[in-house]
Chains A and B, each alone.
Chain A
Amino acid sequence: MPGLSEAFSRDDVVYVARLARLDLDRGEVDLYAAQLASIIDHVAAVTGLDTSDVPATAHPLELVNVLRPDIPGPTLPRDEVLARAPLAESGRFRVPPILGEAP
């Protein structure tokens, strides 16, 4: 187990914020490093328990796939949904370039 008892470092905050698509300023990085370290320290109390023979519970119910006949039903009107988007064009969501400008 890598570094479970170590405090949450500034590098951890920067790494996790990048994964979570959060831009943090310097002050936020310091603040969250301290706060997350204290939270992780507390909740890590359960990491030492021997649970080798305990199955995981992902969900309180025994989930089963819910299927229905493949018959098209009513859906939300496209224009009504696109009207709520920050930017839409030609019946689609418009976003900035993903892979850089096309030549």
Chain B
Amino acid sequence: MSAWAYPAGAVETARAVRAGELRAREVVAAALGRIGRFEGALHCFLTVTADAALTAADAVDAVVAAGGDPGPLAGVPIALKDNLCTRGIPTTAGSHILENWVPPYDATVVKAVAAAGAVAVGKTNLDEFAMGSSTENSAYGPTRNPWDPTRVPGGSSGGSAAAVAAGLVPLALGSDTGGSVRQPASLCGVVGVKPTYGLVSRYGLIAFASSLDQIGPFAATVADAAALLDVIAGHDPADSTSLDVALEPVSRQLGRGVAGLRVGLISDFLVDASPSCVAAVREAAAVLAGAGATVEEVAVPALMLGLSAYYLVAPAEASSNLARYDGVRYGLRVDGPDVTQMNGRSRSAGFGPEVKRRIMLGTYVLSAGYYDAYYGQAQRVRTLVARGFAEAYERFDVLIGPTSPTVAFEIGAKTQDPLAMYLSDLYTIPTNLAGHPAVSVPFALSEGLPVGVQVLAPALGEGPMFRAAAVVEAGADAAARGPIEPHAAGAVR
């Protein structure tokens, strides 16, 4: 029996565990060992569930020993963003208001990965309630980028992205409301997928903006991300927005190539992106063309309206969703002489500055006198974004562009200027407004930091999207991809 070879990927690990060549316990113990080594320097996790993980690994091994099949992710360690409810395990959403909350139920995706044999090793750090692009808005301190610990991992799913990039786990789950899976994937040199809205159940995901939120996978490779998406995709009666469609497993798409695929390079996304991000996208376009795709530049100016519409729509939905944190049923309560004062004191003590900003922004745009001018207008602009995409997809099967306008920025660089932080999501937001899928693939290095390329597709276009992503990955600089060996505690690159 061979030892688990870091950095073996998820698909290979599961194959070896199912074949009885490798024990799940060894794999999980190795992951826990790496977490122990690097967690102090990186702070990817809010909770590590070592004992439960080893118990779950033993159960996987017992199934194999009895001649059974534990599932397609047998024995693969997975990290879960801490806004996914886990029965009996604290779930904070990165907020003080849920500091001591222990969910009484599991999110559907948590059950799905366990049923596939994956072993959850812990809950990852995030911007409070998934609001942010750097993981600096966590009430529990920032996560550091494994490529350079003075820089952010991106956000809001920064803990999940950094955990995969540092080789602590081969797989992780995040949530993407405006780019919160793809942007940290780009900044950490890993693959991050935002699936079509409704493809993955949101049941048990702590709500931020319900018409935009979608759960998605992180992995070091496109194939591993595809394997995880295949496990979490599917209809769920517990989520009324869950799509009841049979999508061909994306894992089967990967080898099919891009011959004849029509690829549009979004020219509007090249205007403000940094030169290294633009160069990576142009080189990825050449890779796709070299593999037989037809590549053309296309202007989709409506997409550039997305950011403004998003920062009206998402805070409006958030202000409504977060009204539930009132100190009555769960979470923090700070007492007061009457219920209204108790509500105000609890929310003020429990929420951090970014969450308060977004609640107030959302409350403002929904308030009397402003509703139609701001919120109504943003919903109409959302239609314009969707129409812009629809016109482009009459001519193209997939679109490509940068994921993020820049590489990872320094910790603290944007914390005093919320608007500058919001601009990090300029190229990821339109996809959420339209409900489409997109994936970020690590492609190049710029001054030692990874640069991701984004592949976008129309609703349920995951098949062609993954075919293109696999080709982009094959043409990428392998040195731009995690997992990497992070520098030990406190060391700076």
Taking Cβ atoms with an 8 Å cutoff, the residues of A that contact B are 1-2, 4, 8, 12-13, 15-17, 19-24, 28, 31-32, 35-36, 38-40, 42-47, 49, 51, 54-61, 63, 65-66, 68, 76-77, 80-81, 84-87, 93, 95-98, 100
Task: Report B293-320 CB contacts with A as 1/0, cut-off 8 Å.
Answer: 0000000000001011101100000010
B198 surroundings in chain A (CB, below 8 A): 60-61
Q: In the complex, are the beta carbons of B326 and A36 less than 8 A apart? A: no
Chain B interface size, under 10 / 10 to 19 / 20 to 34 / 35 or more: 35 or more
Shortest CB-to-CB span from A72 to chain B, Å, is 15
Select one of B331, B342, B351, B384 contacting A95, CB under 8 A: B342
Task: Report B19-55 CB contacts with A as 1/0, cut-off 8 Å.
Answer: 0000000000000000000000000000000000000
Q: In the complex, are the beta carbons of A55 and B380 less than 8 A apart? A: yes
In the assembled complex, the Cα of A80 lies from the Cα of B102 at a distance in Å of: 10
Q: In the complex, are the beta carbons of A43 and B311 less than 8 A apart? A: yes
Q: In the complex, are the beta carbons of A46 and B360 less than 8 A apart? A: no
B312 surroundings in chain A (CB, below 8 A): 43, 46
A31 surroundings in chain B (CB, below 8 A): 353
Which 10 pairs between the two chains have the least Cβ-Cβ distance?
A60-B435, A86-B333, A56-B379, A51-B380, A43-B308, A57-B382, A23-B344, A23-B348, A46-B308, A66-B240
B105 surroundings in chain A (CB, below 8 A): 76
Can you name the residue of chain B whose Cβ is closest to the Cβ of A15? B367
Q: In the complex, are the beta carbons of A61 and B104 less than 8 A apart? A: no
Add 12 more A-B contacts to A42-B419, A46-B378, A97-B338 (CB < 8 A). Answer: A2-B370, A16-B364, A19-B367, A21-B343, A22-B359, A24-B356, A40-B364, A43-B374, A57-B382, A60-B433, A66-B240, A80-B104
Q: In the complex, are the beta carbons of A39 and B339 less than 8 A apart? A: no
Interface members, chain B 322-340 (any A CB < 8 Å): 323, 326-333, 335-340
A47 surroundings in chain B (CB, below 8 A): 373-374, 377
In the assembled complex, the Cα of A60 lies from the Cα of B240 at a distance in Å of: 13
Q: Using a Cβ cutoff of 8 Å, how many contacts connect chains A and B?
A: 174
Shortest CB-to-CB span from A75 to chain B, Å, is 10
Q: In the complex, are the beta carbons of A22 and B374 less than 8 A apart? A: no
In the assembled complex, the Cα of A26 lies from the Cα of B367 at a distance in Å of: 23
Q: In the complex, are the beta carbons of A61 and B339 less than 8 A apart? A: no
Is B399 an interface position by the 8 A CB rule? Answer: no
A56 surroundings in chain B (CB, below 8 A): 376, 379-380, 382-383
Task: Report B345-377 CB contacts with A as 1/0, cut-off 8 Å.
Answer: 101100101001101110110010110011011
Taking Cβ atoms with an 8 Å cutoff, the residues of B that contact A are 101-102, 104-105, 197-198, 211, 237, 240-241, 243, 305, 307-309, 311-312, 319, 323, 326-333, 335-345, 347-348, 351, 353, 356-357, 359-361, 363-364, 367, 369-370, 373-374, 376-384, 386, 418-419, 422, 433-436, 459
In the assembled complex, the Cα of A84 lies from the Cα of B435 at a distance in Å of: 34
Shortest CB-to-CB span from A60 to chain B, Å, is 2
In the assembled complex, the Cα of A35 lies from the Cα of B332 at a distance in Å of: 27
Q: In the complex, are the beta carbons of A60 and B338 less than 8 A apart? A: no
In the assembled complex, the Cα of A95 lies from the Cα of B326 at a distance in Å of: 10
